[in-house]
Structure 1
Amino acid sequence: MSNWYEEISLKTAHILQKIKKHDFIKELMAGTLPKEVFYFYINQDAIYLSEYKKVLAQIGIKCSDENDTQFFLDAATGIINVENALHQNFLNQKSSINEASPTCELYISYLSRMAHTKSLEEGLAAVLPCFTIYQQVGDYILANQTNKHNNPYQNWINTYGGEEFANSVKNAINITNKHTIKASTETINKMNDAFEKASKLEWMFWDSAYNKEPWKL
């Protein structure tokens, strides 16, 4: 398959549109998102990223190409370190939540299972939406906002709409596409399922943050 990512992007475009239209994103772009909602999100994202970087490292270890391995190991350290610094900038002495929300727990557990128990191809497909959707959301906000000089969340927006992150996303896409060239139809179908499910979990993550999702018991 010459461009698997392009095809799966078309199949899952409706999920991305749902994310862009979510109240969390609309209010983030307008700068009106309640601070307590954003702080809840940043806390949960910090918990998520602490596990996501381990997943990326595991994906890298499973790659046979040393350049691919290095990319994912770098992603697990470099990109995450940038995001961690961003978290500290926004949290800044705010009380941290150490417990993952139900949706956060579900998402990190799913990615860990895909990275450790499934094929490399499925693992690649599962971790890719966290790259691509964040870039697309960041680019979408930058292209449509009118308050770049007075949005309290502009540093967050700039991080995901920036060139450095775009280059990392491009590399992740290229590596994943490379592994589809000789993949069987069965493997491609499993990759499609993994990408779609992870994309849905991205929407659920935004939604759970907007609602400050608690454990019901």
Structure 2
Amino acid sequence: MSEVKPFSFEMLVDRVRAPWQAYCQHEFVRQLGAGTLPEASFRHYLRQDYLFLIHFARAWGLAVYKSRNFSELRQGLDSLKAIVDLEMGLHVDYCARWGISESELEALDEARETMAYTRYVLDAGNRGDLLDLHVALAPCLIGYAEIAKWLVAQPFIVRGEANPYEEWISMYISPEFQAAAEAERVWMNQKLLNQTAQRFEELVMTFQDATRLEIDFWQMGLNDAL
């Protein structure tokens, strides 16, 4: 019988510390924080992030399907509605301020990096349970909050009007987003608490793969400017 231990999200991070740091402190993130990221890189990221959000909504739809009680059902539905009813509109408006029209967004081709990560998340949820899905989504759900906290603590960061990416930084360092990420961390800690060692190892692999795919998503933006 597999040993049961009090696992946690931080233990997941500790197990994949090198790729997690490479993701959270990626050169794309550093240049964004310093305001030196080429605008072509950021626009490419914004376009592909629109497609990512569509699949992100699909993942929360899958979370609704995978739910086993009312609390989980409500969590999945609330997240799905937040993306469809709020986040997508905000993203379209933000893209417009960067000269990217909604019609252009709707006609986009998916980059391979976008396909790889989003399909991986959906596959993890389809073949596993709700916890598998959350672990695959964690680099995005919790990672962006961690990235924002790390960025604003760096000496190279440029804030305010001097940085064209100030609005992006403000969005993810906002109390609302940080609270949402913390709520997700608490939920995951509750679910991870009494997992077996064998089950935890499976989740470590999922978290590692998802983190590596997020690294590729950042790198895609830098490659676009080459």
Q: Could you tell me the TM-score, scaled by structure 1's length?
A: 0.88
From 86, 89, 94, the counterpart of 1:89: 94
Contact residue 37 and residue 210 of structure 1 kept, 8 A: yes
Q: CA deviation at 1:41?
A: 0.2
Contact residue 56 and residue 72 of structure 1 kept, 8 A: yes
Pick closer, same or farther for the CA change 1:121–1:111 going to 2, 3 Å: same
**Secondary structure of 1:174's aligned partner:** helix
Post-superposition Cα deviations, 1:175-206, rounded to whole Å, max 9, x if no partner, equal: 22222233332221111111111111111110
Q: CA deviation at 1:130?
A: 0.9
Q: CA deviation at 1:90?
A: 3.4
Pick closer, same or farther for the CA change 1:65–1:85 going to 2, 3 Å: same
Which sections of structure 2, spanning at least 5 residues, go unmatched? none
RMSD, aligned α-carbons:
2.1
From 152, 161, 166, the counterpart of 2:173: 161
The corresponding residue for 2:116 is: 106
Structure 2: distance between partners of 1:199 and 1:87: 26
The corresponding residue for 1:73 is: 77
Contact residue 86 and residue 156 of structure 1 kept, 8 A: no
Contact residue 50 and residue 91 of structure 2 kept, 8 A: no
**Secondary structure of 1:211's aligned partner:** helix
Amino acid of the residue matched to residue 141 of structure 1? L
Structure 1: distance between partners of 2:189 and 2:145: 18
Which sections of structure 1, spanning at least 5 residues, go unmatched? none
Amino acid of the residue matched to residue 190 of structure 1? E
Q: Which of structures 1 and 2 has the larger relative contact order (alpha carbons within 8 angstroms, sep 6+)?
A: 2
Matches within 5 A, 1:177-188: 177-188=189-200
Amino acid of the residue matched to residue 102 of structure 1? R
Pick closer, same or farther for the CA change 1:138–1:84 going to 2, 3 Å: farther
Q: CA deviation at 1:40?
A: 0.3
Structure 2: distance between partners of 1:135 and 1:87: 21
Structure 2: distance between partners of 1:113 and 1:86: 25
May I ask how many residue pairs the two structures share in their alignment?
213
* 1:31 aligned onto 2:35: yes
Pick closer, same or farther for the CA change 1:175–1:79 going to 2, 3 Å: same
Post-superposition Cα deviations, 1:66-103, rounded to whole Å, max 9, x if no partner, equal: 22322222222325623641442234442436111111
Amino acid of the residue matched to residue 129 of structure 2? S
Pick closer, same or farther for the CA change 1:20–1:121 going to 2, 3 Å: closer
Structure 2: distance between partners of 1:25 and 1:11: 22
Structure 1: distance between partners of 2:114 and 2:33: 23
Q: Could you tell me the TM-score, scaled by structure 2's length?
A: 0.85
Structure 2: distance between partners of 1:31 and 1:90: 18
Structure 1: distance between partners of 2:88 and 2:219: 20
Runs of 4+ in 1 over 6 A off after TM superposition: none
Contact residue 149 and residue 173 of structure 2 kept, 8 A: yes
* 1:44 aligned onto 2:54: no
Structure 2: distance between partners of 1:83 and 1:158: 18
Structure 2: distance between partners of 1:123 and 1:75: 13
The corresponding residue for 1:5 is: 9
